[in-house]
């Protein structure tokens, strides 16, 4: 099935990477950037629901679930976990490609809308890689910028130091968790306020716009 799907998509101009199970898929996702994930529900070790929820813990990449299970509850569960579409086997190559293109069009539009984000006094221009506070530019290093964007993308969610270290610095980074604390401290200083980045004792940090 993986080989067939890859053949369909490459014939339609996509570049593909496939994984034999959820563990391999998660490893690939943390090493490379992908525009979309096609996730089978029935997989060895961990099913697609588990893998989908793990992906959603660190990425908003579009997910299309594939399954031979066509019951309404299966579809609802997949969509509740953050899936963008659900395709029941058997399916035609044309349907698969059409669904992928539809999801990519929707997410591309959403990404364009979110390239410039204003949160309270802070404005983040993702495309221009710039940050300002009440109109005044703030000079951030690359990692400070990526850390701030990652926190904002998960606004309202408590993120552990381990998560921040892994997904901002990468799985192979050999530094300590203190790296995260140091960058958070510097970010607060440069932003001129500690209200936006909250310390969640025993867990890590959370980005939240303070009530005015």
Considering the domain architecture, whether residues 105 and 155 belong to the same structural domain is answered as: no
Considering the domain architecture, whether residues 81 and 130 belong to the same structural domain is answered as: no
Considering the domain architecture, whether residues 11 and 106 belong to the same structural domain is answered as: yes
Considering the domain architecture, whether residues 72 and 138 belong to the same structural domain is answered as: no
> Does a structural domain hold residue 60?
yes
Helices (H), 57-193: 72-80, 93-113, 142-153, 161-164, 178-191
**The domain spanning residue 44 has which CATH number?**
3.40.50.2300
Residue 105 has pLDDT above 80, yes or no: no
The mean pLDDT value for 41-64 works out to 86
Q: Please give the span between the terminal C-alpha atoms of the chain, in angstroms, as a whole number.
A: 53
Question: Which of 81, 113, 145 is at the close of a domain?
Answer: 113
Cα–Cα distances in angstroms (integers) from residue 46 to residues 63, 66, 67, 106, in the given order: 16, 15, 14, 29
> Does a structural domain hold residue 23?
yes
Number of domains in the chain: 2
Considering the domain architecture, whether residues 77 and 146 belong to the same structural domain is answered as: no
User: Residue 178, preceding bond cis, omega within 30 degrees?
Assistant: no
Considering the domain architecture, whether residues 197 and 152 belong to the same structural domain is answered as: yes
Considering the domain architecture, whether residues 103 and 139 belong to the same structural domain is answered as: no
Crossing angle of helices 48-56 and 72-80, in 10° steps, is 20
Q: What percent of the chain has pLDDT over 70?
A: 93
Question: Which of 113, 142, 169 is at the close of a domain?
Answer: 113
Predicted structure pTM score: 0.54
pLDDT tens figures, 117-143: 888 889 998 878 889 998 899 998 888
Considering the domain architecture, whether residues 39 and 84 belong to the same structural domain is answered as: yes
Question: Which of 113, 141, 169 is at the close of a domain?
Answer: 113
Domain that holds residue 177: 116-207
């Amino acid at each position: 099935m993986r080989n067939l799907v890859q053949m369909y998509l490459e014939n339609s101009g996509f570049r593909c990477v496939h994984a034999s199970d959820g563990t391999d898929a998660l490893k690939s996702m943390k090493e490379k950037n992908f525009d979309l994930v096609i996730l089978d529900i029935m997989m060895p070790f961990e099913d697609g629901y588990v893998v989908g929820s793990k992906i959603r813990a660190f990425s908003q990449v579009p997910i299309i679930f594939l399954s031979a299970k066509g019951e309404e509850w299966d579809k609802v569960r997949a969509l509740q976990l953050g899936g963008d579409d659900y395709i029941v086997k058997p399916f035609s190559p044309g349907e698969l490609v059409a669904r992928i293109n539809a999801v990519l069009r929707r997410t591309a539009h959403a990404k364009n809308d979110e390239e410039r984000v204003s949160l309270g006094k802070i404005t983040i221009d993702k495309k221009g890689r710039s940050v300002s506070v009440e109109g005044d530019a703030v000079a951030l290093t690359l990692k400070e910028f990526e850390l701030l964007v990652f926190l904002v993308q998960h606004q309202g969610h408590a993120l552990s130091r381990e998560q921040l270290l892994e997904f901002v610095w990468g799985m192979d980074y050999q530094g300590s968790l203190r790296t995260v604390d140091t960058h958070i401290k510097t970010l607060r200083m440069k932003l001129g306020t500690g209200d936006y980045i909250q310390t969640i004792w025993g867990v890590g940090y959370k980005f939240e716009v303070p009530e005015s």
